[in-house]
Chain A
């Protein structure tokens, strides 16, 4: 009868989708263990969040009304106290930038197992088995997790969002926050992906990745974008290298795009990139590696060298 505690995530007044995905993962796990599903929401307008989190299968929602935005010290302290109070065997959180900013600390504080970026979970009475990728998605692994409470972060968009109205009890949890132990303070937020071009508005995106090799080769992709009257975007390494501005970046940390056609050129398709473009109507991949993860979501593919294919494609439109 192992109980589960799932920790919701919100930012700037909005509950993030992964919170409702966590409930789905939590409900599945609770069915296997026969235990209860507890959901916690910390900081901000917790009462409104609690209403949104009240979905089918949730037994209790714990609200911690302290502070507004995410602070890792407040989250670490609150979650630690909640786990003790509930006696939870499994702690589920998002494998997000903020999830990874406090859940490893929770696991360390309890000296218990931590498994991150999980894409599948099952349990019997004794062992939790997690499925996760390695080597940038080239392989999947199953990992047995020994010991409780175990802390698990789940990858976004792997579980569907929880639907159906719930009948959970909503309880205010009186976390004792030790303010002397808070050694970090959030001073604000900054949008970085602004600028002249909004790639999320484009019908046709010509998107370039690491396969382009050199900055001067970008001209080839620009030429293609011109020939097709398309907008040019890119994967992360191109922006990291400073070859294109941040407003061109597709992916988790960049923009989410849903064009009619997305042409991925020399992009391997890391999960962070795919998160930003998998909603495109049609995906075309040009890549020498037929096993690249991008091929799993491509509708059309050319397994060939972009330096051969792109000039030939430009030729088709000139």
Chain B
């Protein structure tokens, strides 16, 4: 069995930042592996270690700078990586779900995995939709927001728990092949070992262009256009306690006593 894991490098924003046009000024951004994808990688690697899966391949849409993040996934135990980038993607400020799916669909077509794992969402644009949209595009089954996955060797069905709202889980069987979007908390993602990091340097990291994949550059133009970005107006009238920790703790203690919740 082969698993394809979609891996995204996301930008995290400093506490204080500035907006430049329709983007956050690069000086206030740092790159990181998308948190949800970290759990998807771990799930795939565990299935590989358990002997259920023969090969774990990652796919990333990203420029050359994302290779450092991709190597993290390889260091954690993925077998090889595909990175898709193209001049046509340069300067696109918002890659919408349809555009991502057009690219990933071609990769799934070439790799023919039995299972695709994505993160539930990405920490930057948070569409939360790529996995399900991809499944429909490639004509397989899917499940969104999976927080438990049971998969037997050679099975044609995956048993999953889907995390619904309010502490309720849905127990569902999904025909394979399928795309599952993986929720945080499904496992405990490992840290890459030194040995893993060394081995990752030797693993295959294949760069492909849209032409290599046979994807028309029109297909990644997208239907959404980012028009503006701004800091949300704060509607709160928060009382801020100032001073040293002793001062602020004293003010808070007084408040709690006033409210009658502490003695």
**CB within 8 Å of B: which residues of A?**
11, 70, 72, 76, 95-98, 100-105, 107-109, 111-117, 129, 133-147, 150, 183-193, 203-204, 228-230, 236-237, 239-242, 246-247, 249, 252-256, 260-261, 281-282, 284-285, 288-292, 295-305, 308-309, 311-313, 315-317
Contact = CB atoms under 8 A, between A and B. Distances in A.
Interface string B213-255: 0000000000111111111101110111100011011101101
Given A138-B13, A146-B223, A312-B249, 9 more contacts: A11-B168, A72-B132, A134-B229, A137-B232, A141-B22, A228-B256, A229-B263, A241-B188, A313-B253
Contacts of B49: none
B20 to A, nearest CB: 12
A116 B127 contact: yes
B252 A313 contact: yes
Contacts of B13: 135, 138-139
B19 A139 contact: yes
A105 B130 CA distance: 10
Top-9 shortest CB links A-B: A193-B167, A113-B223, A312-B249, A240-B185, A316-B253, A183-B175, A308-B245, A104-B129, A105-B136
B92 interface: no
Interface residues of B, number: 83
Interface string B115-149: 00000000111111111110111000111110000
B126 A117 contact: yes
B98 interface: yes
26 contacts: A11-B164, A97-B165, A100-B128, A104-B133, A114-B98, A136-B123, A141-B228, A142-B226, A144-B224, A183-B178, A184-B143, A186-B170, A190-B171, A228-B262, A252-B166, A253-B164, A254-B167, A290-B15, A296-B235, A300-B239, A302-B241, A304-B245, A312-B250, A313-B252, A316-B249, A317-B263
A190 B165 contact: no
A138 B238 contact: no
